[in-house]
Chain A
């Protein structure tokens, strides 16, 4: 079994490197020129997504390491006592849970991470006992409702613009509604993958050999990084391939139609997979050709779900949950875009 794996890997590598010589010969001919450009752009885009995500992912993982050594519990306790939102984790009273979702959706101010950084943080929150549905609210809301994103959006569109306000509002509403819908489940553990569920169950009973908080911190960072990075590689691969090999004119050819333009901007946001802290500057180039509702839909849906995030989330949530999550977020952003269009 193990020998088989090594053999397959070896064969793959030889195939790859042998073919590359014949391939370079082909793409230097005039007929292969387009393919040459496409491959070059694909390589550049793929690596740039990873290299851009790398520091932010590591930042998120550092924060998740800090959570694992109970760095934030003190801070959170402070928040709980000061803001009088103190709620028992096992509480099932609707009013309290309602407030809990709203508070969790504002956690982005405490942990300002963008969309790739917040996946490891969310995983750590679940290991620390946060409910999966509440974590979904955090995952969807934190990339939009955090200081960095708000500042960059206000830089791009102006501080008083309707787009900034509706982006924050839309993210807040959609994240809370989706989290609460998942919270209606009696047994939320069905949302998690088997491996991650076992991790959640065993976390408190693990007798770690490592002594000292420092090495526990380092150990957490390494484990988390090695389990997240391959997933990011796959996500960036799919995202950049679909960016290069799907013609963008087809997606963006429908600008002024109130309904279709929202759909095309949603598809665009799903494919492009860029960081939530800078996507406002990409959107601004389309703000003259597209109706405002479409821009808002792009800015709310993009940070919540795209190809890269879906592969990252696959490490802890089941497939059907992700499909449902994507469908709900799509529907939510679409309706929100329609509402904006009908008002403006």
Chain B
């Protein structure tokens, strides 16, 4: 019985995260996994409800039950997730006769299991997920362009034509595809990303970067384009999101040729809903 309730709650948690929390499931996993996640969450809710219905002893609706149900429906109309949660728990409490030993068994046998799951569910609802920050970027930055980008379809189609719409992922894929840096010199760029200064870069440079993910936030890898700007620390700080326009140039430091952007204009922007690129 209690396992049915927990299974339903877990399925509900996935739906809650997707539809009601900021960032949705996109903050955790690659977008291609979202249909599967939602499908499995539906399945979990289905299994849980089937288990609950199996245990319902009587379906008869007396007047007391009816009045409680109507109260609950008002709660349901109230509209936020917590109300839905109470609505569900209330429905179960009204219609399901608990076996007397159900609760005893829970306390004796698998108390800590349920406690852990409960803490996870409650904390996920009440503590928001901030998303991956520059700290992880500094841990994982590799100073190369060897990161595979899935969505870079523009490559090869329109080299030299309209590159102003290229985002960071497109540029990284292009550089992977065509590593001759002279090709890029002077091209105009317009990029969105967050500011990040890896230790390998000298003073006066920073990266405008994004995270690439393949599976989930555990494998997020930062990619970025180097920006040359003296004293950027005075105006901007790391982890803030900016829009940047400028031109590519080539400069020599760290014993190699580096593609850098000389910025024309930098504006602060809001953190986008989907912080990753694919």
Q: Which residues of A contact B (CB under 8 A)?
A: 2, 5-6, 9, 13, 20, 34, 37-38, 40-41, 43-45, 47-52, 54-55, 58-59, 62, 156, 215, 218-219, 221-223, 225-227, 229-230, 233-234, 239-240, 243-244, 247-249, 272-275, 277-279, 281-282, 284-289
Question: A240 — which chain B residues lie within 8 A by C-beta?
Answer: 218
Pair B216/A285 contact, Cβ less than 8 Å = no
Question: B40 — which chain A residues lie within 8 A by C-beta?
Answer: 54-55, 58-59
Q: Which label, helix, strand, loop or mixed, suits the secondary structure of the A interface?
A: helix
Question: B239 — which chain A residues lie within 8 A by C-beta?
Answer: 37
Question: B140 — which chain A residues lie within 8 A by C-beta?
Answer: 248
Q: For B216, give its contact among A51, A156, A233, A288 (CB under 8 Å).
A: A51
Pair A58/B146 contact, Cβ less than 8 Å = no
Q: For A273, give its contact among B47, B50, B218 (CB under 8 Å).
A: B218
Q: Which label, helix, strand, loop or mixed, suits the secondary structure of the B interface?
A: helix
Question: A233 — which chain B residues lie within 8 A by C-beta?
Answer: 116-117, 120
Pair B7/A225 contact, Cβ less than 8 Å = yes
Least CB distance, B185 to chain A, in whole angstroms: 24
Pair A52/B215 contact, Cβ less than 8 Å = yes
Question: B146 — which chain A residues lie within 8 A by C-beta?
Answer: 284-285, 287-288
Chain B residue, CB-CB nearest to A2: B107
Pair A221/B47 contact, Cβ less than 8 Å = yes
Could you name 22 residue pairs across A and B whose Cβ atoms are closer than 8 Å? A2-B108, A5-B112, A40-B130, A43-B127, A44-B130, A45-B217, A47-B129, A48-B217, A52-B216, A54-B37, A54-B41, A218-B51, A222-B48, A225-B44, A226-B110, A226-B113, A274-B216, A275-B216, A278-B219, A284-B147, A288-B144, A289-B144
Once the chains are docked, how many angstroms separate the CA of A287 from the CA of B148?
12
Task: Say whether B258 faces chain A, with CB atoms less than 8 Å apart.
Answer: no
Once the chains are docked, how many angstroms separate the CA of A5 from the CA of B116?
13
Task: Say whether B91 faces chain A, with CB atoms less than 8 Å apart.
Answer: no
Once the chains are docked, how many angstroms separate the CA of A6 from the CA of B119?
13
Q: Which residues of B contact A (CB under 8 A)?
A: 3-4, 6-7, 10, 14, 17, 25, 27-29, 33, 36-37, 39-41, 43-44, 47-48, 50-51, 54, 107-108, 110-117, 119-120, 124, 127, 129-136, 139-140, 142, 144, 146-148, 214-219, 221, 239
Pair A34/B135 contact, Cβ less than 8 Å = yes
Once the chains are docked, how many angstroms separate the CA of A275 from the CA of B215?
8
Once the chains are docked, how many angstroms separate the CA of A227 from the CA of B215?
25
Pair A226/B28 contact, Cβ less than 8 Å = no
Q: For B28, give its contact among A47, A225, A279 (CB under 8 Å).
A: A47
Least CB distance, A66 to chain B, in whole angstroms: 13
Pair A222/B51 contact, Cβ less than 8 Å = yes
Pair A274/B215 contact, Cβ less than 8 Å = yes
Question: B111 — which chain A residues lie within 8 A by C-beta?
Answer: 2, 5, 9
Once the chains are docked, how many angstroms separate the CA of A48 from the CA of B7?
19
Pair B221/A52 contact, Cβ less than 8 Å = no
Once the chains are docked, how many angstroms separate the CA of A277 from the CA of B25?
19
Once the chains are docked, how many angstroms separate the CA of A221 from the CA of B10?
14
Pair A51/B28 contact, Cβ less than 8 Å = yes
Once A43-B129, A49-B218, A226-B6 are accepted as A-B contacts, the answer to whether A38 and B47 lie under 8 Å apart by CB is: no
